[in-house]
A and B are shown apart, each in its own frame.
Chain A
Amino acid sequence: MGVSTQTGGGGANLSDLVVVAEEAGAHIAPLPLVDHMVASRLLATFNAAGDDVVSGTAVAGLALRPAVGQVVRSVPSGAVAEVLVALEEDRLVAVRGGAPLESLPNHADLPLAHRSLNGSEVVATGPEAVTAYARAVDEWRTLTGSLLVGAARTAVDLGVAYVTDRHQFGRPVGSFQAVQHGLADLPGLCDGARLLVAKAAWAGDRPGDGIVDVGDNEITDFAVLAAMALIFAGQAAVQATDRSLHYHGGYGFAEEYDIQLYYRKTRGWAQANGDPARECGRLADLLLSDRGTA
Chain B
Amino acid sequence: MDFTLSDQATAFRSEVKALLANQLTDDMVDAMHETGTFNAPILNAALADAGLLAGAVPGYGNRDPVELYVLFNELEKAGAPYDGLAVTMLVAGVVHALGTEFHRTEVLEKLLTGRHYCCLGYSEPDHGSDVAAVTTRAISEGEDWVIDGQKMWTTMAHESDWVLLLTRTNPDVEKHRGLTMFLVPMDTPGIEVQPVATMATERTNATFYDGVRVDDRWRIGEVDGGWSVMGVALALERGVMGGTNPAVPLLRHVREWAEKAPSPDGGLMIEDPLLRERLARTAIANQVGQLLTLRAAWVAATGGLPGVEGSMAKIYASEAYQEVVGWFQQMAGAEGLLGFGADEAAADGWIDYNARHAPVTTIYGGTTEINRNNIAERHLGLPRVR
Question: A-side interface residues toward B, CB under 8 Å?
Answer: 15, 156, 160, 163-164, 172, 174-177, 180-181, 183-185, 187-189, 191-193, 195-196, 198-199, 202-203, 214-217, 219-220, 225, 228, 231-232, 277, 280-281, 283-285, 287-288
What 16 new A-B contacts, CB under 8 Å, besides A217-B286, A281-B276?
Answer: A160-B382, A180-B382, A181-B376, A187-B312, A187-B379, A192-B316, A195-B295, A196-B288, A202-B1, A215-B255, A216-B248, A228-B283, A228-B287, A232-B288, A280-B276, A287-B283
Query: In the bound complex, how far is the Cα of B278 from the Cα of A163, in angstroms?
Result: 35
Set B77, B291, B295, B373: member contacting A180, Cβ < 8 A: B373
Count of A-B contacts with CB under 8 A? 135
Q: Is the interface of B mostly helix, strand, loop or mixed?
A: helix
Which residues of B sit under 8 angstroms from A219, Cβ to Cβ? 283, 287
Number of B interface residues in the complex (CB < 8 A):
44
- Whether the pair A283, B288 counts as a contact (CB closer than 8 A) is no
User: Is the pair B380, A184 in contact by a Cβ cutoff of 8 Å?
Assistant: yes
* A-binding residues in B (CB < 8 A): 1-3, 77, 245, 248, 251-252, 255, 270, 273, 276-281, 283-284, 286-288, 290-292, 295, 311-313, 315-316, 319, 369, 371-373, 375-376, 379-383, 385
A224 CB to nearest B CB, Å: 8
Give B17's nearest chain A residue, CB to CB. Answer: A216
Contact of B279 among A174, A185, A232, A284 (CB under 8 A): A284
**B383–A217 CB distance below 8 A:** no
Residues B280 and A284 in contact, CB atoms below 8 Å apart = yes
Taking a contact as CB atoms under 8 Å apart, the answer to whether B382 and A277 are in contact is no
Residue in B291, B371, B375, B381 whose beta carbon sits within 8 Å of that of A195 in the complex = B291
* 24 residue pairs from A and B, CB less than 8 Å apart: A15-B1, A174-B383, A175-B382, A181-B373, A183-B382, A188-B292, A188-B312, A198-B3, A214-B251, A214-B283, A215-B252, A217-B286, A217-B287, A220-B3, A225-B287, A228-B283, A228-B287, A232-B284, A280-B281, A281-B276, A283-B280, A285-B276, A287-B283, A288-B276
Q: Which residues of A contact B372 (CB under 8 A)?
A: 180-181, 184-185
Is A287 a contact partner of B313 (Cβ separation < 8 A)?
no
Complex CA–CA separation, A223 to B382 (angstroms): 39
Establish whether residues B291 and A188, one from each chain, have CB atoms under 8 Å apart when the complex forms: no
* Shortest Cβ-Cβ A-B pairs, 7 listed: A188-B312, A284-B276, A184-B372, A180-B376, A195-B291, A192-B288, A280-B280
Smallest beta-carbon distance A147→chain B, Å: 18
With a cutoff of 8 Å between Cβ atoms, the chain B residues found around residue A164 in the complex are: 381-382
Please name all residues of chain B whose beta carbon is closer than 8 Å to the beta carbon of A174 when the two chains form the complex.
Answer: 382-383
User: In the complex the two chains form, is A189's CB within 8 Å of B280's CB?
Assistant: no
* Distance of A232 Cα from B290 Cα, bound (Å): 14
Write the nearest CB–CB distance from B366 to chain A, whole angstroms. 13
- CB contacts (< 8 Å) of B278 on chain A: these are 280
Q: Could you say which residues of chain B place their CB within 8 Å of the CB of A198?
A: 1, 3
| A192-B383 contact given A215-B251, A281-B280, CB 8 Å threshold | no
Kindly provide the distance from the CB of A281 to the nearest chain B CB, expressed in whole angstroms: 6
A42 to B276, CA, bound (A): 31
Q: Which chain A residues lie closer than 8 Å to B376 at the CB level? A: 180-181, 183-184
Assembly CA distance A99 to B17 (angstroms): 56
Most buried by B among A163, A164, A199: A199
How many angstroms from the CA of A176 to the CA of B386 in the assembled complex? 11
CA distance A215 to B255 in the complex (A): 9
CA distance A74 to B8 in the complex (A): 49
A287 to B281, CA, bound (A): 11
State whether B375 touches A184 (Cβ < 8 A).
Answer: yes
Give the residue of B251, B276, B287, B380 whose beta carbon is less than 8 angstroms from that of A196. Answer: B287
Q: Within 8 Å CB of A288, what residues of B?
A: 255, 270, 276, 279
Please measure, in the bound complex, the distance between the C-alpha atom of A280 and the C-alpha atom of B276, giving whole angstroms. 8
A171 closest partner in B (C-beta): B383
Complex Cα distance, B43 from A197, in Å, reads 37
- In the assembled complex, the Cα of A281 lies from the Cα of B273 at a distance in Å of 7
Residue of A nearest to B381 (CB): A160
Q: Which residue on chain B has the smallest CB distance to residue A191?
A: B312
Residues from chain B with a CB closer than 8 A to the CB of A176 are: 385
Inter-subunit contact B291/A192 (CB<8 Å): yes
Residues of B within 8 Å of A185, CB to CB, are 315, 319, 372
The answer for the CA separation of A183 and B374 in the assembled complex, in Å, is 12
A232 CB → nearest B CB, Å = 5
How distant is A188 from chain B, measured CB to nearest CB, in Å? 3
Distance (whole angstroms) from the CB of A2 to the closest CB of chain B? 18
